[in-house]
Amino acid sequence: MASMLKQNKTILLNHAQRDLMRAAGRANAELLDYVRPHVVAGTTTEQIDRLVHQWTLDRGYRPATLGYQGYTKSCCTSVNDVICHGIPDKYELRDGDIVNIDVTTIVQGWHGDQSETFLVGEVDEEKLAVTQCAFDCLYMAIEAITPGCPVSVIGDTITAEAHRRGFSVVREYVGHGLGRSFHQDPSIPHFPNRQSKVDRLFPGVTFTIEPMINAGSRFTQLDRTDGWTVRTKDGKPSAQFEHSILMTEDGPEILTQTSLGPARGHRFTNSSDD
C-alpha cells in the first residue's frame, strides 16, 4: 500500500530482525502465489479479498490493511484506471482488464508488502505496454541502488525510463520504510525530490519500491465517496509492481519474490502471443 509519509527517522535492522523481515516477505509472496490462479475473468474482487483474508488467518498471520486507518478489506484491488487503494467489491473481472493486487501480511509483528499487476485475458497494447513499463521500472530501480546510495537514485531511474517510453510517474503516492510498522521512514518517492537526495539507503533499512506508472498524465483523482480509491485523472490505465527490499552490506535483497510470478527480465504477452 502506498504511503504519503514525511521524512523522520530511518530504522536499521540487526541480523535477527532482518531474518524476521525475510520470513514476513516469504509469507507474503506465498499468499500472492496462492491468489494467482484465481485472478481470471468472472472472479469478483471481493472473492479475491476473501481468499486473501482466509489464507492469512488460517496461518496465524494478520492482514495489515484490514482496519488500517478505517480501511475495511484485507487487500487492495485496483482495476484499469485505478492507480492504487482500490477497495474489493462485487466488480467481476473481465477479459481485457488489468488489476493490481496489493497484499501486506503481518508475521510475528513484521510486515511483508508487495503488489503485482495481472493481465486478465487479452489486453490491449496500451495496457500491455504500461504494465511492462511498471515492471521494468521496479527492477531497474532495484538494480540501480547500492549500500548507502541516495534514495533519489530510485526516482531518477524510474522517471527516466517511464518518460523514455512515453508514460508518466505518479507523485502523490510513494514507497516507504517497512518493518514493525506498516509505513515508516524513509519515504521512497518514484521521482527525484529534494529530500530523496539527502536520505540514504544504508545496510539494515527495509523499504518498498512500488512505481505507479500511468499511460496518460501523472495526475490523480481521489474518490470522495470512499476516501480511498485513487484513479488517473484522465481515465487512462495505470499499472504498478511492488517489492519489499532489504538493503544489505552487499546490495539490495528482494524479500517478496514469488515462486510462480514474474521475475527479473519477464516479458508480458497476451496468451495468443505465447
DSSP per-residue codes, 93-116 = P-TT-EEEEEEEEEETTEEEEEEE
Predicted TM-score (pTM) of the model is 0.95
Average pLDDT (131-158) is 98
Q: Angle 29-116-251 (CA atoms, 0-180°, nearest 5)?
A: 65
pLDDT band at 75 (very low <50, low <70, confident <90, very high): very high
- The phi and psi torsions of 256 (rounded to 5 degrees) equal -125, 30
Grid cell of 266 as nine digits: 519477464
> Which position has the grid cell 479475491?
48
pLDDT band at 274 (very low <50, low <70, confident <90, very high): very low
Q: What is the average pLDDT value for the chain, to the nearest integer?
A: 96
Number of helices (H), then strands (E), in the chain: 5, 17
pLDDT at residue 241, rounded to an integer:
98
Q: Where are the domains of the chain?
A: 15-256
pLDDT band at 1 (very low <50, low <70, confident <90, very high): low
pLDDT at residue 5, rounded to an integer:
44
Nearest to 256 by CA among 115, 48, 98: 115
**Is residue 221 within 8 Å of 188, Cβ to Cβ?**
no
Average pLDDT (71-94) is 98
> Which position has the grid cell 503516492?
173
What is the H or E stretch that residue 212 is in? strand 212-214
Average pLDDT (191-212) is 97
In the chain, what percentage of residues exceed pLDDT 90? 95
List 252's β-bridge partners, or say none: 247
Residue 4 CA to residue 175 CA, distance in Å, equals 8
Lowest average pLDDT, out of 7-11, 26-30, 187-191, 206-210, goes to 7-11
Residue 228 CA to residue 245 CA, distance in Å, equals 25
Average pLDDT (232-240) is 98
CATH code, 15-256: 3.90.230.10
pLDDT at residue 25, rounded to an integer:
98
Is the pLDDT score of 259 beyond 80?
Answer: yes
Q: How far apart are the first and last CA of the chain?
A: 32
Average pLDDT (158-168) is 98
